[in-house]
Every structure is written in structure tokens, then in C-alpha cells.
Amino acid sequence: MATKQEEREEFSKAQKILTEEMKRGEFRPLYLFYGEEAYLLSYYKNIFVRAFSENEGINIHRVGEDLETKNLKDLAETLPFFSPYRLMLFDGKVFGKKKLGEDFIQYLKTSPESTVMVFLEEKMDKRSSFYKIVKERGLILPCVEQDSVFLQKFALGILKKEGKEIARPEMQELLQRTGSNMFRIQTECQKLAAFLGEETVVTLESIDTCLKKLPEDRIFDLIEAMGRGNREELFHYYGDLLQLEESPTKIRSLIKNNVEKLLLVREKLTEGLSERDIARALSMEPWRVKKYTLEARTYTLQALRDLFHALLRLEEEIRKGKIKEQLALELLLLGEEKSYFN
């Protein structure tokens, strides 16, 4: 199974190939864009739609609910109208609830080269015959969550287009506020540019005023307060999350995810790994590793294991209906979950 970093490298190589081929007006018969980064999936779908948009898009067919193999073959074998290619778009049709038949997938081995088929999927089984066929005849672009270097370039491009400048510390703070979701980065950069008005330089103050912290960051603050035993701060952050209309279920889930990451980082620190090695081993951005490392050092390895196991046990009790979600969460925050189990 490919790591996140390996998929990012595949994305970079495929992106360059795609750009060069489209400049030459060349297309392969099959393309697969898959991954959790919705911005990239949308971006590359729109690139193909624009490339085939002449003559009011007569050479574009978006495949809907009709997935009968015979009908799809007829469409695939329809000649393009005054063009060397026509486009068929399959959005979530390979592994969705209503999916393509295996006979059509096998047909892709010999489908006409004049019909360009683009498949967009959130998840992909690389062991499937479909994946192997596309790899043989086409191009695969893993649209996965990108690393901090890519996201910095992306954010910088948006801000430059708006006539704004940003230094490295401000960029790091910006990405901490936005997270790695590219749609969110785009929206928040545009919001920040509008807030600055005629000012051209992004400052930490402008970021702090304009961009709210993500719920994940407030969760991290909450966990820090738990580690210090500071109940006043802890319930201040908890109150902030409730004001953001975050449900107890989501808050507990975010705490669990963060504690799990802290535990993984603490284990790697115990093994003697450097921050760079931890980032590579866990496929985590360096700035995130630094943040988790600082916090993980305030806990013993056993304390984090105990906290993570308590979260798992509370989750099981909630699932069985033995305890209400909010009560379970508040027992955890108060550090009284052990009394419940006893």
C-alpha cells in the first residue's frame, strides 16, 4: 500500500505529464482522478470540461444513472463532432452504490482512442482490474491531501493574484488556521485579501482578526489544558466548541484523533527519532510534528496510552447505550472516567 508521500510524488509526476500532453492537444483514452482532496478533483474535471467545451460542449457526455454496458459502449463508439476527441465523464461510478459492470470495465481495454473517458473517485482499490486497465492505457492522478510545501505555494499564488505579500511565519500561521483543505485555503485567502483592502502585507494581527481557529486547533488547546490539569482553561475551550455548535460526539472524536496522533509521536520520540524522521514515518507535515512533539513531551508514554484506552472504553460504553455521549465527554474532561469504570 502506497504511503501518502508516495501518492503525492505520483501526483506531481502525473500532473506534469498531463500538462504537457494537454498543451500539445493530445489525450489518452482513459484518465482516473481519485482521492480525498475535493478541490483537486474539481479542478481537473473542469480542465477537461473546458478543453472539450467548443461547439456548446456537444462532444461532452456526463454519464448519469444509465450504466447499462450496451448503452455505454454505444456512447463510447460515437464519433466526435468535428473534433479528434469526445469526452465521457464518470463521476463516482466505479465504486459507488450504482456502479459500472465488470463487462464494461473489461471493454475499457479496447475502447476507441477517440473517446476520452475521465473517472473521478474519492476512494480507489489499486488491486482492482479497473485500476490496472487505466494504468495500462491511461493516466492516474492521485488527488490526495497535499503537503505543506504544495499548500504554501497554492496559498501564495492566491494571495499574489490579490496583490498581497506574506512572509514565512505568517504563512505557517495561515495554514494552521485553514488546515489542509484546499477549498478552505482558497476561501480564507480571499477573505483575508478582502479584509486587508488596500494594505498589501499580511500580518499575524490580520490573520488573528480575520480567520477563526479551526475546531481541531481548539481541541488541541483543550488537550493541552487537560495535560496541565487547568480546569478553568479546559472548560473555556469546551464552551468555545459548544458555541461553534460542535456536538459532543464530534468533540470526543476530535479528542480521540488528536490523542492518537500524540501517542504515535510520543512512541517515536521514545524510539529516539528526530522530528524530521517522525514527519516521514507518520506522513505528517513538519509544522504539525513540531506542534505535536512539544505537547507529547508534557505526557509520559503511559499517560497517553491510558488516555487513549479510556477514550476507546467510553466509546464502547456509548455504543452499548450504557452512558450518554455528553456525560461521557464531561467525565473525560474532568478526569473522572476511571471512577465510572470502577
Domains of the chain in start order, with CATH, are 4-142 (3.40.50.300), 148-210 (1.10.8.60), 215-341 (1.20.272.10)
Give the single-character DSSP code of 81.
S
Mean pLDDT of 104-112: 95
Asked if pLDDT for residue 338 goes beyond 60, the answer is no
Q: How many CB atoms lie within 10 A of CB 90?
A: 21
- Strand order of the β-sheet with 86-91 is 60-62, 86-91, 115-121, 30-34, 139-142
Asked if pLDDT for residue 1 goes beyond 60, the answer is no
247/188: higher pLDDT: 188
pLDDT band at 279 (very low <50, low <70, confident <90, very high): confident
pLDDT score recorded for residue 334: 78
Residues near 286 by beta carbon (within 8 Å), at least 6 away in sequence: 148, 275, 276, 279
pLDDT score recorded for residue 132: 95
Alpha-carbon distance of 33 to 118, in angstroms, equals: 8
Lowest mean pLDDT among 81-85, 208-212, 333-337: 333-337
- Quote the distance between the C-alpha of residue 188 and its chain's center: 16
- Cell 496559498 belongs to 155
User: Which alpha helices (H) appear in 229-300, and where do they start and end?
Assistant: 231-243, 248-270, 275-282, 286-296
Query: Using alpha carbons only, what angle is made at residue 172 by residues 168 and 176, rounded to the nearest 5 degrees?
Result: 170
Mean pLDDT of 37-42: 94
Question: Which is nearest to 259 in space by CA: 332, 175, 178, 173?
Answer: 332
Question: Which is nearest to 238 in space by CA: 338, 334, 341?
Answer: 334
Q: CA quadruple 33, 36, 42, 43: dihedral positive or negative?
A: negative
pLDDT band at 165 (very low <50, low <70, confident <90, very high): very high
135/220: higher pLDDT: 135
Alpha-carbon distance of 175 to 191, in angstroms, equals: 14
Q: Confirm if 331 and 238 have CB atoms less than 8 A apart.
A: no
Lowest mean pLDDT among 241-250, 313-322, 330-339: 330-339
% of the chain surpassing 90 pLDDT = 50
pLDDT score recorded for residue 23: 93
pTM exceeds 0.75: no
- Cell 461553534 belongs to 244
Lowest mean pLDDT among 16-25, 84-93, 206-215: 206-215
Mean pLDDT of 218-236: 80
Alpha-carbon distance of 225 to 211, in angstroms, equals: 23
pLDDT score recorded for residue 321: 87
Alpha-carbon distance of 77 to 92, in angstroms, equals: 22
Coil, strand, or helix at residue 227? Answer: helix
pLDDT score recorded for residue 2: 65
Asked if pLDDT for residue 139 goes beyond 90, the answer is yes
Which residues, listed in sequence order, are joined to residue 141 by a DSSP beta bridge?
33
- Cell 473525560 belongs to 332
Bridge pairing between strands 115-121 and 139-142: unpaired
Mean pLDDT of 238-244: 79
